[in-house]
Amino acid sequence: MIDANKDPIPRINRAAFFRDIGYKPHPGQRAVHASKKRYRVVACGSRWGKSVCAAMETLASAFEPRECAMIWVVAPTYDLADRIYRQIELKVLERLPHRLIAKKEAERRILLRNLAGGVSEIRAKSADNPDSLLGEGLDFLVVDEASRLRPRIWNSFLSQRLMDKRGSALLISTPRSKGYFYDLYRRGQPPDPDPDYASWNMPSWSNPMLPMADIEAERRRLPDAAFRQELGAEFIEGAGAVFHGIRDIAVGEFQEPVAGERYVAGLDLAKVQDYTVLIIINSRREVVFYDRFHRLDWGLQTARIVGATSRYQRAQILCDVTGVGDPIYEELCRAGCRVTPYAFTSRSKSALVENLVVMCEQRRLVLPRAELWPEGIEELEDFQYSVTDAGTVRSGAPSGQHDDIVMALGLAAWQVRAERPQYRISTVRRRDPHIEALRQRLWR
Ligand X SMILES: Nc1ncnc2c1ncn2[C@@H]1O[C@H](COP(=O)(O)OP(=O)(O)OP(=O)(O)O)[C@@H](O)[C@H]1O
Residues in touch with ligand X (CB under 6 A): 24-26, 29, 46-52, 174, 209
By C-beta, is 228 or 285 nearer to ligand X?
A: 228
Least distance in angstroms from the C-beta of 142 to Mg ion: 11
29 binds Mg ion, rule: CB under 5 A: no
Least distance in angstroms from the C-beta of 144 to Mg ion: 6
By C-beta, is 9 or 210 nearer to Mg ion?
A: 210
By C-beta, is 51 or 316 nearer to ligand X?
A: 51
What are the Cα distances from residue 243, in Å, to 109, 136, 249, 251? 39, 36, 11, 16
Least distance in angstroms from the C-beta of 147 to ligand X: 11
Q: What's 397's DSSP letter?
A: P
Least distance in angstroms from the C-beta of 232 to ligand X: 13
By C-beta, is 49 or 252 nearer to ligand X?
A: 49
Q: Which residues pair with 70 in a beta bridge?
A: 121
By C-beta, is 48 or 235 nearer to ligand X?
A: 48
The site partner of 157 among ligand X, Mg ion, none (C-beta below 5 to 8 Å per kind) is: none
51 binds Mg ion, rule: CB under 5 A: yes
Least distance in angstroms from the C-beta of 319 to ligand X: 38
d(Cα 295, Cα 255) in Å, to the nearest integer?
27
Q: Give the residue among 351, 348, 350, 375 at the shortest CA–CA distance from 279.
A: 375
Are 263 and 288 contacting, i.e. CB atoms less than 8 angstroms apart?
yes
The torsion region of residue 159 among left (phi > 0), alpha (psi -120 to 50) and beta comes to alpha
Least distance in angstroms from the C-beta of 28 to ligand X: 9
d(Cα 82, Cα 421) in Å, to the nearest integer?
45
Respond yes or no on whether the N-terminal peptide bond of residue 398 is cis (omega within 30° of 0): no
Residues numbered 358 to 397 that lie near Mg ion (CB under 5 A) are none
Least distance in angstroms from the C-beta of 73 to ligand X: 13
The site partner of 303 among Mg ion, ligand X, none (C-beta below 5 to 8 Å per kind) is: none
Q: Which residues pair with 348 in a beta bridge?
A: none
Query: Number of residues in contact with Mg ion, rule: CB under 5 A?
Result: 2
By C-beta, is 54 or 162 nearer to ligand X?
A: 54
Least distance in angstroms from the C-beta of 295 to ligand X: 31
By C-beta, is 199 or 204 nearer to Mg ion?
A: 204
Tell me the pairing of strands 367-368 and 384-387: unpaired
How many CB atoms are located within 10 Å of the residue 205 CB? 18
d(Cα 16, Cα 31) in Å, to the nearest integer?
15
By C-beta, is 316 or 384 nearer to ligand X?
A: 384
* Vertex 354: Cα angle to 433 and 327 (nearest 5): 150
Least distance in angstroms from the C-beta of 83 to ligand X: 8
The site partner of 181 among ligand X, Mg ion, none (C-beta below 5 to 8 Å per kind) is: none
The answer for residues whose C-beta is within 8 angstroms of residue 61's C-beta and 6 or more apart is 9, 69, 71, 120, 139, 140
Which one of the spans 43-51, 67-75, 396-404, 416-424 is the region binding Mg ion (CB under 5 A)? 43-51
d(Cα 310, Cα 312) in Å, to the nearest integer?
5
The site partner of 52 among Mg ion, ligand X, none (C-beta below 5 to 8 Å per kind) is: ligand X
The site partner of 46 among Mg ion, ligand X, none (C-beta below 5 to 8 Å per kind) is: ligand X
d(Cα 350, Cα 359) in Å, to the nearest integer?
14
d(Cα 161, Cα 324) in Å, to the nearest integer?
39
Which one of the spans 42-50, 91-99, 160-168, 280-288 is the region binding Mg ion (CB under 5 A)? 42-50
d(Cα 186, Cα 174) in Å, to the nearest integer?
15
Using the CB atoms, write b or e for 284-300: b if 16+ within 10 Å: ebbbbbbbbeeeeeeee
By C-beta, is 179 or 410 nearer to ligand X?
A: 179
By C-beta, is 55 or 406 nearer to ligand X?
A: 55
Which residue in the shown chain puts its C-beta closest to Mg ion?
51
How many CB atoms are located within 10 Å of the residue 221 CB? 11
How many CB atoms are located within 10 Å of the residue 330 CB? 14
Least distance in angstroms from the C-beta of 25 to ligand X: 5
The site partner of 33 among Mg ion, ligand X, none (C-beta below 5 to 8 Å per kind) is: none
Are 351 and 411 contacting, i.e. CB atoms less than 8 angstroms apart?
no
Which residue in the shown chain puts its C-beta closest to ligand X?
49
The site partner of 47 among Mg ion, ligand X, none (C-beta below 5 to 8 Å per kind) is: ligand X
Which residues lie near Mg ion (CB under 5 A)? 50-51
